[in-house]
């Protein structure tokens, strides 16, 4: 087992951001954490990384509690954050060299890995430009490469697709598939449900910090009684947003006249 979240609750003052949440992500698995805006995905991810402490419940990453040894946990995880965590004034090349120094990656290995990702993600021309000057998608490519460089067994990716162009999304999907083929584990959050449907072996849907359902897309379909529906239909139904979409459309249409 790679990631185990057991009955975790996290409050920010009065607000319960995550409530009694449990799930597991195993070796060889691509696991999707889906939920509307503000439902607790990023909070959950940050607790797994040891960036936030849970108020109750427990988390283990390959047997280590991130609240006790965040350093050990981070060494095993490649993390793409929701908001950029790279230094804006550094270039991707400087950033990758810094990561290599911290993670003990030799020069030859580093160049090999950089070359592989730079070629596959068309990132050669961004290597020597300050990150602050890069376009949204190109900055995201630098974030992704930075997360992959130390070949971590676990990838935790919070909205990793934001800004990526069609080709990069295709390549990114391949990177994830190869990662789990090699025995790694992936957990990611996304609002792009077509990608989740295509990639995830299992999905956990949360709403207002609570687990609504966990399972394969087929199992979720069964749970929501929307046979033949897309994951988007299933998601809207399980999070009880399907009727509010109808209402939103009605309001918008009424506002035209």
Ligand X SMILES: Nc1ncnc2c1ncn2[C@@H]1O[C@H](COP(=O)(O)OP(=O)(O)OP(=O)(O)O)[C@@H](O)[C@H]1O
Query: For residue 192, what is the DSSP state?
Result: -
Out of ligand X, Mg ion, none, what residue 49 binds, judged by CB under 5 to 8 A for its kind, is none
CB 149 within 8 A of CB 118: no
Given the rule CB under 6 A, which of 19-27, 37-45, 57-65, 73-81 is the region that contacts ligand X? Answer: 37-45
Out of Mg ion, ligand X, none, what residue 61 binds, judged by CB under 5 to 8 A for its kind, is none
Given the rule CB under 6 A, which of 10-18, 106-114, 120-128, 234-242 is the region that contacts ligand X? Answer: 10-18
CB 131 within 8 A of CB 86: yes
Interface pick for ligand X out of 8, 43, 79, 96 (rule CB under 6 A): 43
- State how far the Cα of 160 lies from the Cα of 143, in Å rounded to an integer: 9
The arrangement of strands across the sheet holding 56-61 comes to 15-25, 3-12, 56-61
- Binding-site size for Mg ion (CB under 5 A) equals 3
For the record, the structure tokens of 13 come out as: 């003052």
Using the rule CB under 6 A, is 35 a contact of ligand X?
Answer: yes
The burial class, CB within 10 Å (0-12 / 13-18 / 19+), for 208 is middle
Out of ligand X, Mg ion, none, what residue 37 binds, judged by CB under 5 to 8 A for its kind, is ligand X
Using the rule CB under 6 A, is 38 a contact of ligand X?
Answer: yes
Using the rule CB under 6 A, is 39 a contact of ligand X?
Answer: yes
State the residues that interact with ligand X by CB under 6 A: 12, 15, 17, 35, 37-43, 82
């Amino acid at each position: 087992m790679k990631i185990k979240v057991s009955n975790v609750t996290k409050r920010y003052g009065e607000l319960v951001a995550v409530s009694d949440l449990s799930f597991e992500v195993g070796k060889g698995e691509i696991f999707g954490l889906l939920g509307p805006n503000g439902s607790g995905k990023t909070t959950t991810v940050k607790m797994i990384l040891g960036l936030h402490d849970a108020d109750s419940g427990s988390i283990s990453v390959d047997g280590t509690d991130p609240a006790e040894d965040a350093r050990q946990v981070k060494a095993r995880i490649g993390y793409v954050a929701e908001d950029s965590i790279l230094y804006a004034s550094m270039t991707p090349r400087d950033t990758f060299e810094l990561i290599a120094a911290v993670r003990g990656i030799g020069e030859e290995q580093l160049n090999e890995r950089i070359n592989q990702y730079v070629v596959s993600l068309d990132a050669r021309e961004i290597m020597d430009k300050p990150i602050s000057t890069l376009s949204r998608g190109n900055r995201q490519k630098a974030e992704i490469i930075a997360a992959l460089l130390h070949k971590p067994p676990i990838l935790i990716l919070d909205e990793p697709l934001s800004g990526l162009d069609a080709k990069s999304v295709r390549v990114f999907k391949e990177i994830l598939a190869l990662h789990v083929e090699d025995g790694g584990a992936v957990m990611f959050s996304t609002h792009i449900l077509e990608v989740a449907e295509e990639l995830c072996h299992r999905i956990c849907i949360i709403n207002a910090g609570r687990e609504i359902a966990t399972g394969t897309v087929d199992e979720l379909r069964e749970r929501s009684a929307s046979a033949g529906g897309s994951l988007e239909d299933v998601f809207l139904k399980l999070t009880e947003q399907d009727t509010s979409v109808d209402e939103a459309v009605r309001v918008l249409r009424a506002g035209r006249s």
